[in-house]
Structure 1
Amino acid sequence: MRKIIWLILFNFGLLYGGNEMLLDSANAYNLVNRTNKINQSIITNSSAIIVFPTFVKAGFILGATIGRGVMLVRDDIPQEYIDDNITAHQNSIWSAVPVRLGGATIGLQAGYENNFIVMYVMNKAVIKDIYDNKLTLSASASVSFMDYGVNSEAISDMGLSDIYAYTNNRGFFVGAELGGSVITVDDKIKFDTASYGYEQLMQAISVIR
């Protein structure tokens, strides 16, 4: 069973190219914002947005989670929080960074599940931790998981969490073992700023200022 899990995850990584990821990220971001009532202050005050257009959970009792996606960092973030090796377009206020998420799960679970996740990063220090490959969800960064369709417009404690996460799957975050998962920069993926996928992703987030 363990070999099957890692075979699935390995093939997922090989088949998922950078430009396709950007286009899927644009579609995922648009869908999340259409189906979730997100507090506007979360969107406008975020320092970065992380989109995992494919987030895989696979296993039985002992399982694994993996996601590959893009972190969009505001260009006005102080240099001390960011890395020089990022993909930016001269006409954009955002820079695109390939990222991955991985972790292990233990408990009652079976089969294979595929979803996507959008995370709004409120704390600039989280961005630096991702560049330094030392961000662990719920350990070095507090996360508020907002279940599909839940109205978060009325939430008043916007400053209490480092990250606000949304999904396309109702009930997905109930019992989802994301605590302990690690987000790091994905050096194996390169983004093309001239690609159609990049253009669509920039268009999707262009309403954010």
Structure 2
Amino acid sequence: MIRVIWLVLFSLSLLYGGNERLLDSANAYNHINRINKIPQSIVINSSAIIIFPTFVKAGFILGATIGRGVMLVRDDVDEFYSDDNLTRHLNSNWSAVPVRLGGATIGLQAGYENNFLVMYVMNPAVIKDIYDNKLTLNASASVSFMDYGTKNEIVSDIGFSDIYIYTNNSGFFAGANLGGSVITVDDKIRFNTNSYGYKQLMHAITVVR
């Protein structure tokens, strides 16, 4: 009987933990978009959007980076929209996949930082690498760490990078802390597509600013 109760509680923790992550991701995405000038071309041409509402760096000499988030993968849509990427984006369906990020650092460091990260994946091959647990930032994929006030003319060639990363801190911070980090699927979490958090997140990513 105790084992059954434990299993029920464990299952509920996975479900509600997932729902909280979805809502936190929606809030983080909205915040990142408010403080950064993200080119529309990046948003509507992305194959997936990865959001980490919690990205933590902590340590003293030896450190670690840890993130828990969600990857939204754009599902195939009707070819009717193939020549109109904005309309395609607004009508896209998305699959929500729980993901985690981790890495180790060494050097002169001390303290604790917690930030938001939003990653726009332009190359579909990156998504497969995440599913296969073999994506290492700056090693398996070309990455551009964007900073406040990025303008459209700066990102004139969408094919330049596999991933564009925005944060509520500086692009320098992101680049310094993410090198060598690995993104994998977090199979310990379940998402409820009928939850309030899921609906808020779907609304957030379909708004093009």
What interval of TM-score do these two structures reach, taking the shorter chain for normalisation?
0.7 to 0.9
Aligned to 1:56: 56
Mapped contact 1:28–1:116 kept (Cα < 8 A): yes
Unaligned runs of 5+ in 1: 1-13, 78-90
Aligned to 1:129: 129
- The alpha carbon displacement at 1:174 in A equals 6.1
Alignment of 1:40-119 (within 5 A): 40-76=40-76, 93-119=93-119
Counterpart-to-counterpart distance in 2, 1:97 and 1:115: 20
Counterpart-to-counterpart distance in 1, 2:122 and 2:58: 30
Residue 146, structure 1, aligned to residue 125, structure 2: no
Mapped contact 1:146–1:152 kept (Cα < 8 A): no
- The alpha carbon displacement at 1:169 in A equals 1.4
Output one character per residue of 1:6-25: Cα deviation in whole Å (capped at 9) or x when no partner.
xxxxxxxx9x9211110010
Aligned to 2:186: 186
Counterpart secondary structure, 1:114: strand
Counterpart secondary structure, 1:200: helix
Identity %: 82
- The alpha carbon displacement at 1:70 in A equals 0.2
Counterpart secondary structure, 1:65: strand
| 1:150 maps to amino acid | G
Q: Which consecutive aligned stretches of 4+ in structure 1 deviate over 3 angstroms post-superposition?
A: none
Distance 1:159 1:174, change over 3 A: same
Counterpart-to-counterpart distance in 2, 1:175 and 1:207: 27
What's the TM-score, normalizing by structure 1? 0.81
Pairwise CA RMSD: 1.9
- Computing the radius of gyration over CA atoms, which structure comes out larger, 1 or 2? 2
- The alpha carbon displacement at 1:59 in A equals 0.1
| 1:46 maps to amino acid | S
| 2:149 maps to amino acid | V
Counterpart-to-counterpart distance in 2, 1:135 and 1:46: 17
Unaligned runs of 5+ in 2: 1-13, 78-90
- The alpha carbon displacement at 1:190 in A equals 0.5
Paired residues, what number? 180
Counterpart secondary structure, 1:141: coil
Counterpart secondary structure, 2:153: coil
Output one character per residue of 1:104-141: Cα deviation in whole Å (capped at 9) or x when no partner.
01122111110010000000000000000000001111
